[in-house]
Chains A and B, each alone.
Chain A
Amino acid sequence: MSAVVSKIREPLVTGSKTYHQITEDLVGPTEKTPSVEWIIGFIIALSCLGFGVFSIAWTIWFGIGSWDLNRTIGWGWDITNFVWWVGIGHAGTLISAILLLFRQKWRTGVNRAAEAMTIFAVICAALFPGIHVGRAWVVFFFFPYPNTRGPLWVNFNSPLLWDLFAISTYFTVSLLFWYTGLVPDFATVRDRAKGIRKKLYDVLAFGWTGSAKHWQRWESLSLILAGLATPLVLSVHTIVSFDFATSVIPGWHTTIFPPYFVAGAIFSGFAMVLTLMIITRKILNLQDYITIAHIESMNKVILLTGSMVGVAYLTELFVAWYSGYVYEQFAFYNRALGPYWWSYFGMMTCNVITPQFFWSKKIRRNLNWTFALSIVVNIGMWFERFVIIATTLARDYLPSSWSYYVPTWVEVGIYIGTIGIFFTFYLLFTRIAPVVAIAEIKSILKAGGNQYVGENATHHKEHAH
């Protein structure tokens, strides 16, 4: 490794770490008893999860009528939450796959946790199509297989079915990618462990020995999975957007939806990564691996994708006027000034206006600001999906069908439940696996460690060109 690194690049690993210290710092959290903060967090998360399970059981037992959906507004919080979670699940694979292909070394600080979030967010998302159909016991009808129901097949022409394929493919590839990265790290944990713990991690590490052949195969597999995952990052939310845009409903049928959904997904995904990483780095003392420079980079991605979403909102508004099509014009008039004006206002403020604070370098590098704004972005992206779904449906072509919708406690309970699922899994993950990829951090140490690069480098390069 004789990487030439510009003097003005900030180091990616601070604290003049040695390889051994990296192992100590990153494996440490899995070897100690959990802290009080962790236990309190886990209890809260588990309670939310429990309430979610209760609300889902309520839905299945009493039927979908326990939600406040009606004939006009057939999709409400359920699909809003579904799209919201799928969107959050985008940053992980973007960081691991696209940033790997673009050789972005800063990805190593956050890729592991972001990939884990992807998996958990997709699990939360996948829950909603399963229960919103009402009869959860026949959801296997979703899958196309030769069956005894006569010529009754799934509708291959429906984007809802494409969604099933897209999300299950995405989930599979993301899981493989995540696990592939974990294998050498599990081996590191195993090598330090004793007794039953050693046996368990031995199973998880698939007999990794760290031989040259293992690394070689690991590298090629990572690259192949990155190649597969890159189009998937685009395809998943593209197909989610098709659920709406293939219709002829004004406000849903617009060609910008595919790329704009993808930009929005990355936007919310990075916001969630920031929310979690700011807490994680503090509790697990990872400030040397997830530096302020990492946070600043992620804030720039948020500023970029937030502005792209802003361009798309304004494009939609402009083209609605430009179209000369009264229904289109009404749909957007209704969004901004109709009964759900507050959600449109929330969406615009949280997604377009507040991220503009990140133009300031001070704010980009300020943890409190970043934490607050990352939550604001997640609220905004939830509003966006609610605006698209409920606001559009509330004003049917027939004014006699116009309606308004507020969720029942059951719908809110399921949403809280998914947040519980997400955090329960995430907290367990921080106990089981190294939150930062050990092998990958080590691979960039000489090109990113503060003793090698940056203003205060002590190991200067001997070779001069």
Chain B
Amino acid sequence: MNNNFTFEGKQKSILLSGIGLGIVCMVLTFFMGDHGAVRFWSNFLHNSVFFTGIAYTALFVIAAFTTAYAGWFIVIKRIWEAISLFLVVGLVLMMVIAVGLWMGYHDLYHWGIHGVADVNSETYDALIAGKSAFLNKGWYTFGTLAIVGSWIFFAQKLRSLSVAEDDYTVGDYGIHKKIKVWTAVFLPIGAFTSSAIIWLWVMSVDSHWYSTLYAWYATASWWVSCLCLTILIILYLKSKNYLQGVTVEHMHDLGKLTFAFSIFWTYLWFSQFMLIWYSNVGEETIYFRERMDNYPVLFWGNLALNFILPFFILMRNDTKRKMGSLAIAALVVLFGHWIDFFLMLKPGILHTQHYLPGNHGEAHHDAGGHEGAGHGAEHVSDAVAGFTMPGLLEIGTFIGFLCLFLFVVYTHISKASLLPKNDPYVEESLHHHS
């Protein structure tokens, strides 16, 4: 059994060219000329949030499974460890957004507009002023640094303990006991901080709007994406003759988790939508009104990709045990949740452009005018690539980020054995029957 993955030059060049494609697309997007480079910055935020969150959920699930005495996942644990280490890159990406906020490079957040909390300012907004103790540049920067920084600390701690366990031959499971303590400590920290970070990064693009369920909903979206990426990475590694200890039983379980958590995501989607729709409070329904009117294909497509397709593809026993159907489901759902984050972010960001000085309501229907396509796109019924739907440049940017993500993950995978051979549950995992 070959447990040491070699990250070959050929694989590196493929991924590097993918990253190159992403950079080209981002440069093109930047110079396409929409005012304020809204399209560029929103794509940057969208992909950074998406992949950083996936890394976070990988860390969280290692902690949760370890605390719950799970044995089956040990043979794939190293994949999740590698994914969790992408948090370092994620922090850098999110700091770019934070720096942009300070320097005024972008107007992604309504609350970030200069003077929004100043009663004498042209851009004053009473509601946002009330939230400015939380929604401000300092807290955004500090919160991101402190929270993602603490996640990185735990990710590296757990990784180094896990790798050290490979050479630990004492047989008293001393390192495993340490891992259990660190994972238990991380669980409440991770659970509380992820909510705060989602409010800051994602929910606050619709600065007036709020929903208590939102953070759990976004976390579920990240976690399902993480499962899909895990399935795809494992299938790739298996095709290269690695991970022979990962059998169809483990894939079946990952398929079951994808199936179950797709339904769980839908449950949260439905709960949030139904309660807001039923109560019909204008301040709340505006969130869905905006998306249903201006993003109808994505809005309903979101449900098709993330619920209907995985539900029907993965319901049967055999489709979870056949790698073709499992891979298709994973690809569909991964893309589906990327769309989900597109829908969480873009409409709010575009709407914010109205509030910029000089962009007041009068110019609403002036699509393509001096405010740029982003501003106008919100109000035309046609789909506008990059604004009301992902265009080719968005797909290219996504591929770029995905390749960066995979590059980082494969680099970490290659640095340690694929099998945590001294984990107390490794034999259980190797003989796993679902």
A307 close to B191 (CB less than 8 A)? yes
A259 touches B268 (CB 8 A): yes
Cβ B267 vs Cβ A316 within 8 A: no
A247 closest partner in B (C-beta): B279
Residue of A247, A253, A255, A324 near B271 (CB, 8 A) is A255
Q: Does any Cβ of B come within 8 Å of A238's Cβ?
A: yes
Name the residue of chain A whose CB is nearest to the CB of B171: A7
Shortest Cβ gap from B271 to chain A (Å): 4
Number of residues from B at the complex interface, CB < 8 A:
44
Q: Tell whether A315 pairs with B173 under 8 Å between CB atoms, given A245-B275, A253-B279, A325-B283.
A: no
A-B contact pairs, 12 of them (CB 8 A): A9-B69, A238-B271, A247-B279, A256-B212, A257-B275, A258-B271, A258-B275, A300-B67, A314-B192, A315-B212, A319-B211, A465-B431
Interface status of A452 (Cβ within 8 A of chain B): no
Contact of B428 with A253 in the complex, beta carbons under 8 Å:
no
| Interface flag for A8 (CB, 8 Å) | yes
A386–B86 CA distance with the chains assembled, in angstroms: 45
Is A354 an interface residue, CB under 8 A from the partner? Answer: no
**Contact B211 A255, beta carbon cutoff 8 Å:** yes
Contact A324 B275, beta carbon cutoff 8 Å: no
- A32 interfacial by beta-carbon distance below 8 Å: no
CB proximity to B under 8 Å, residues A29-73: none
- B 131-158 contacts with A by CB, 8 A: 131, 134
Kindly identify, within residues 410 to 434 of chain B, every residue whose CB is under 8 Å from any CB belonging to chain A. Answer: 424-425, 427-428, 430-431, 434
Query: A319–B210 contact, CB under 8 A?
Result: yes
> Which of B20-28, B30-38, B44-52, B213-221 lies at the interface with chain A?
B213-221
Asked if A253 and B427 sit within 8 Å, CB to CB, the answer is: no
Inside 8 A of B164's CB, which chain A residues have their CB? none
In Å, the complex CA distance between A254 and B211 comes to: 7
Partner of A322, one of B68, B210, B431: B210
* B188–A307 CB distance below 8 A: yes
A212 close to B (CB within 8 Å): no
Q: Are B267 and A246 in contact (CB-based, < 8 A)?
A: no
Q: With A6-B71, A8-B173 in contact, is A255–B281 under 8 Å at CB? A: no
Interface assignment of A225: CB less than 8 Å from any CB of chain B: no
Given contacts A6-B428, A311-B192, A315-B195, whether A256 and B213 have CB atoms under 8 Å apart is: yes
Q: Which residues in B have their C-beta under 8 angstroms from that of A148? A: none
Query: Is residue B379 contacting chain A, with contact meaning CB distance below 8 A?
Result: no
A residues within 8 A CB of B263? 231
Whether A254 and B424, one on each chain, are in contact in the complex, defined by CB atoms closer than 8 angstroms, is no
5 new A-B contacts, CB < 8 A, other than A6-B71, A255-B272, A319-B210, are A253-B281, A255-B213, A258-B268, A324-B127, A359-B184
Q: Are B275 and A253 in contact (CB under 8 A)?
A: yes
B residues bordering A, Cβ < 8 Å?
67-69, 71, 126-127, 130-131, 134, 173, 176, 184, 188, 191-192, 195, 199, 208, 210-216, 263, 267-268, 271-272, 274-276, 278-279, 281, 283, 424-425, 427-428, 430-431, 434
Do B212 and A316 have beta carbons less than 8 Å apart? yes
Min CB gap A292→B, angstroms: 15
Expressed in whole angstroms, the minimum distance between the Cβ of A205 and any Cβ of chain B is: 31
Q: Measured between alpha carbons, how far is A247 from B213 in the docked complex, in Å?
A: 16
- Bound complex: CA A202 to CA B12 (Å): 70
Cα–Cα distance between A316 and B430 once the two chains are bound (Å): 44
Q: Which residue of A lies closest to B126 (CB)?
A: A324
**Residue-wise interface mask of A (319-335) relative to B, using a CB-CB cutoff of 8 A (1 in contact, 0 not):** 10011110000000000
CA distance A359 to B184 in the complex (A): 9
**In the complex, what residue of chain B is closest to A249 when comparing beta carbons?**
B279
Q: Is A248 an interface residue (CB 8 A)?
A: yes
Q: Which residues of A contact B425 (CB under 8 A)?
A: 6, 8
In angstroms, how far is the closest chain A Cβ from the Cβ of B175? Answer: 12
Q: Is the CB of A246 within 8 A of B431?
A: no
| A219-245 Cβ-contact flags toward B at 8 Å (1 or 0) | 000000000000100100010001001
B213 contact from A103, A234, A259, A308, Cβ within 8 A: A259
Residue of A nearest to B131 (CB): A322
The 7 residue pairs across chains A and B that have the minimum distance between CB atoms: A256-B212, A255-B213, A4-B431, A258-B271, A324-B130, A246-B278, A324-B127
A64 to B283, CA, bound (A): 38
Interface centre among B127, B275, B434 (most CB of A within 10 A): B275
Expressed in whole angstroms, the Cα–Cα distance for A242 and B279 within the complex equals 11
Bound together, the chains give a CA A238 to CA B195 distance in angstroms of 21
Contact A103 B434 (CB under 8 A): yes
Find chain A residues with CB under 8 A from B134 CB: 322
Flag A435-465 by CB within 8 Å of B: 1 or 0 each: 0000000000000000000000000000001
Q: How far apart sit A217 and B272, CA to CA, in the bound complex (Å)?
A: 40
Task: Name the one of B176, B216, B434 contacting A8, with C-beta atoms under 8 angstroms.
Answer: B176
A contact residues around B430 at 8 Å (CB)? 4, 465
Given contacts A8-B173, A311-B192, whether A242 and B275 have CB atoms under 8 Å apart is yes
Q: Which residues of A contact B191 (CB under 8 A)?
A: 307-308, 311
Q: Which of A234, A248, A324 makes the CB contact (< 8 A) with B279?
A: A248
Residue interface mask A87-124, B partner, CB < 8 A = 1: 00000000000000001000000000000000000000
In whole Å, how far is B416's beta carbon from the nearest beta carbon of chain A? 21
Q: Are the CB atoms of B275 and A6 closer together than 8 Å?
A: no
In whole angstroms, what is the CA distance A168 to B431 when docked? Answer: 41
Bound state CA distance, A315 and B213, in angstroms? 9
With known contacts A7-B424, A311-B191, A465-B427, A246–B212 Cβ distance under 8 A: no
On chain B, the residues within 8 Å of A3 by CB distance are 431
Task: Determine the distance from Cα of A246 to Cα of B272 in the docked complex, in whole angstroms.
Answer: 11
Chain A 241-290 residues near chain B, CB threshold 8 A: 242, 245-248, 253-259
Residues of chain A with a CB closer than 8 A to B283's CB: 325
With A and B bound together, what is the CA distance between A325 and B211 in angstroms?
13
**CB neighbours of B431 from chain A (8 A):** 3-4, 465
Are A4 and B428 in contact, with the CB atoms below 8 A? Answer: yes
Bound state CA distance, A312 and B212, in angstroms? 8
- Tell me the smallest distance from the CB of B219 to a CB of chain A, in Å: 11
- Residues of A contacting B127 with CB < 8 Å? 324
With a cutoff of 8 Å between Cβ atoms, the chain B residues found around residue A259 in the complex are 213, 216, 267-268, 271
Chain A residue nearest to B253 (CB atoms) is A103
